[in-house]
């Protein structure tokens, strides 16, 4: 099997997973109802995060676009200047404050971000001291047209991000994707090859692709890369212009669903046990069996 050159299947070679700073911890997925009232959305998210922290969550994940209705008309109106901070970014300021006060890690779902002339769909990761450890701008924009079902073109108002985002936190090395990013397995493979323990995807799949692909994609990303995958969606509002599927979920490194919910507003808490990753990778040693003599994944920016 040495002729298979598994070390050449990842270019540069895969980084071994670092020892995680914690072996077991609780993650909370806050599936939030989103309204047109931004202040109310922020207050609702704050309550949900604080409640999860009080119940023992070390990591809290929020949905995609939780502070604004999901529409091209709303993105520019609700957008925040994250780099300016303060009053220019009330959603981000709240997340920073709660992370610091509760001493938790927050993967802050996503909010529309204004930067210069561009609007991005952006996820910030907050450390336990409230600092922003990473900022992921959605790389793959949601431009689809399924005749008679759904038509949405994010690129009408949003600009695509240019950088994969992987962050070392108090609860492990986390790779970030936003919604449509989950469809591109190359991004997940890249995060795994950079030593991720967990992939977090805030998302808002719709009523057409949600039932078909949402859980399937999460389980696929988890089992392909033998790591944890967590997702968080908005709660379903049948009266809104864009109706979200819901079903926030945690998947384990065998592709098993460890926790999930329906479409109502709720928070689900589940335990992540990183020792299981090593168990699975020992049982199924994919990393040693790749055919680097036949194929490669090239991490361009590394």
**Choice among 30, 38, 64, 135 that is catalytic:** 64
Token pair for 275 = 């020792």
Sheet architecture: strand order including 228-232: 165-169, 172-176, 198-202, 228-232, 249-251, 257-260
Partner residues linked to 125 by β-bridges: 107, 134
As a whole number of angstroms, the distance between CA 85 and CA 258 comes to 36
Specify whether the CB–CB gap between 251 and 218 falls below 8 A: yes
64 is catalytic: yes
Sorted by sequence, the CB contacts under 8 Å of residue 294 that are 6+ apart come out as none
Q: Which of 74, 123, 124, 179 is catalytic?
A: 179
Q: Is 179 a catalytic residue?
A: yes
Q: For residues 81 and 90, what is the distance between their CA atoms, to the nearest angstrom?
A: 9
Q: Which of 30, 138, 200, 251 is catalytic?
A: 138
Residue that the structure tokens 């450890």 belong to: 133
* Residue 247, burial from CB neighbour count under 10 angstroms (0-12, 13-18, 19+): buried
Residue 97 falls in the annotated catalytic set? no
Dist CA 200 CA 137 (whole Å): 13
Q: Are strands 198-202 and 228-232 parallel, antiparallel or unpaired?
A: parallel
Tokens representing 211? Answer: 């039932």
Which residue numbers are catalytic?
64, 138, 179
């Amino acid at each position: 099997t040495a002729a298979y050159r598994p070390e050449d299947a990842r270019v540069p070679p895969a980084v071994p997973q670092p020892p995680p700073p914690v072996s077991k911890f609780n993650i909370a997925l806050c599936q939030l109802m989103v309204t047109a009232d931004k202040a109310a959305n922020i207050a609702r998210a704050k309550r949900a995060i604080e409640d999860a922290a009080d119940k023992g969550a070390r990591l809290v994940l929020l949905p995609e676009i939780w502070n604004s209705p999901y529409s091209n008309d709303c993105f520019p109106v609700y957008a925040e200047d994250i780099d300016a901070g303060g009053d220019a970014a009330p959603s981000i300021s709240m997340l920073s404050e709660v992370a610091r006060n509760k001493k938790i890690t927050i993967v802050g779902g996503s909010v529309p971000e204004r930067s210069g002339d561009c609007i991005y769909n952006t996820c910030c990761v907050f450390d336990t001291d409230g600092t922003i450890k990473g900022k992921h701008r959605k790389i793959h924009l949601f431009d689809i047209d399924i005749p008679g079902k759904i038509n949405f073109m994010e690129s009408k108002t949003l600009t695509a991000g240019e950088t994969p985002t992987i962050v070392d936190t108090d609860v492990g090395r986390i790779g970030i994707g936003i919604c449509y990013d989950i469809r591109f397995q190359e991004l997940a493979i890249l995060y795994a090859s950079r030593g991720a323990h967990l992939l977090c995807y805030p998302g808002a799949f719709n009523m057409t692709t949600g039932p078909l692909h949402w859980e399937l994609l999460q389980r696929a990303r988890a089992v392909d890369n033998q790591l944890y995958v967590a997702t968080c969606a908005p709660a379903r509002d049948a009266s809104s212009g864009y109706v979200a599927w819901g079903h926030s979920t945690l998947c384990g490194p065998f592709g098993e669903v460890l926790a999930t919910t329906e479409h109502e507003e709720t928070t689900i808490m589940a335990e992540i046990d990183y020792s299981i990753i090593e168990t699975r990778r020992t049982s199924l040693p994919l990393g040693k069996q790749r055919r680097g003599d036949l194929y490669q994944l090239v991490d361009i920016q590394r």
